[in-house]
Amino acid sequence: MNDLAKQLLDLGWKPKKQFGQNFLFDANFLAAIVREAALAKDDVAVEFGTGPGQLTELLAGACARVFTIDIDPKLHAFAMHRIGGSNVSFHLGDAIPKGDVLNPEFVRAVVAGAGGRRIRVVSNFPYAVGGSILLAIAEGQLPAADALGTLQHEVADRLAADPGDEAYGPLGILVRRLADVRRVRDVPRQLFWPMPEVHSALVHVRFGARAFAGDWAGYKAFVKNAFSQRRKTLASGLRKIGLSYDGEFARRRPEELTPGQLEAVWAAAKPR
């Protein structure tokens, strides 16, 4: 068992599954993440899920400033106590309290503290919310240049899936509409504590790759509704949000269409 894990257990702390608490304790892999991030000395790093602070500490030595947030009070206090230095700003709270909206106080602190410097996200994302955080950033809720982090294997699959794949759905369609996604490498579950039931993947997302001209909230609702019953037709998904469409794809299932075709359907739909 890692020394930090033992210290936490000795303090009476126990990992909480609902928070997606699976920590990377492998020093070599943590160092590899920081190398892959290639942070400049003037960059500002943002970390979602401080945990015991091993990655936080490495980030602090690689860039100008680090902003990190964790929902667990004991972990927050533990990391603050063990990590010195004036360039780390620790925040206690839920990173994405409304499910699809980033913590506004944390975002304000990051933007103010960055002072116009480039913001880069580097995280061992909490399993439960990693995909939601990436989509929120892609939507512009945090002005970050990119994100590099570990995600649950199935979330990484959803980000990379193409039409016809079982994992193809709203998360990948929406994130990749706005950003470029690259799967860097797989991460064995043995590198985490507690060891999760599934493997993970290291993923890089470059934000701001493509702008969306139009009603993003409406398009997002259409995609989510279309896939809520993925075996039904696109026409059915549109009816749920008060729209109709009788074009060439009306009787097709959403999982069969490319993101471009889905967007064309959305653009052609009319109020009922």
Residues 46 and 121 in one domain: yes
Query: For residues 222 and 158, what is the distance between their CA atoms, to the nearest angstrom?
Result: 18
> Would you state the pLDDT for residue 37?
98
Residues 82 and 33 in one domain: yes
> DSSP class of residue 118?
P
> Would you state the pLDDT for residue 101?
98
Q: Is-contact 46 110, C-beta < 8 A?
A: yes
Residues 125 and 241 in one domain: no
Q: Which domain holds residue 190?
A: 3-206
Query: For residues 209 and 224, what is the distance between their CA atoms, to the nearest angstrom?
Result: 22
Reported pTM: 0.94
Within a domain: 118? yes
Within a domain: 211? no
Q: Which CATH number goes with the domain that contains 258?
A: 1.10.8
Residues 8 and 62 in one domain: yes
- Which secondary-structure segment (H or E) carries 187? strand 180-187
> Would you state the pLDDT for residue 1?
53
Dihedral, CA atoms, 19, 83, 201, 177, nearest 10 degrees?
80
> Would you state the pLDDT for residue 77?
92
Q: Which of 206, 224, 250 is the last residue of a domain?
A: 206
Mean pLDDT per 10-residue interval, the chain, length 272 residues: 75 73 89 98 97 95 98 93 89 96 98 98 94 98 98 96 95 98 95 87 97 93 86 82 88 93 92 84
Cα 49–54–56 angle (5° rounding)? 60
> Would you state the pLDDT for residue 71?
95
Q: Which CATH number goes with the domain that contains 165?
A: 3.40.50.150
Residues 225 and 100 in one domain: no
Residues 27 and 145 in one domain: yes
How many domains, the chain?
2
Residues 23 and 102 in one domain: yes
Residue ranges of alpha helices (H) inside the chain are: 3-10, 27-37, 54-60, 73-82, 104-114, 130-138, 153-160, 170-178, 216-228, 234-239, 259-268
Within a domain: 35? yes
Q: Name beta bridge partners: 203.
A: 149, 183
> Would you state the pLDDT for residue 103?
98
Query: Which pair of tokens denotes residue 267?
Result: 């653009």
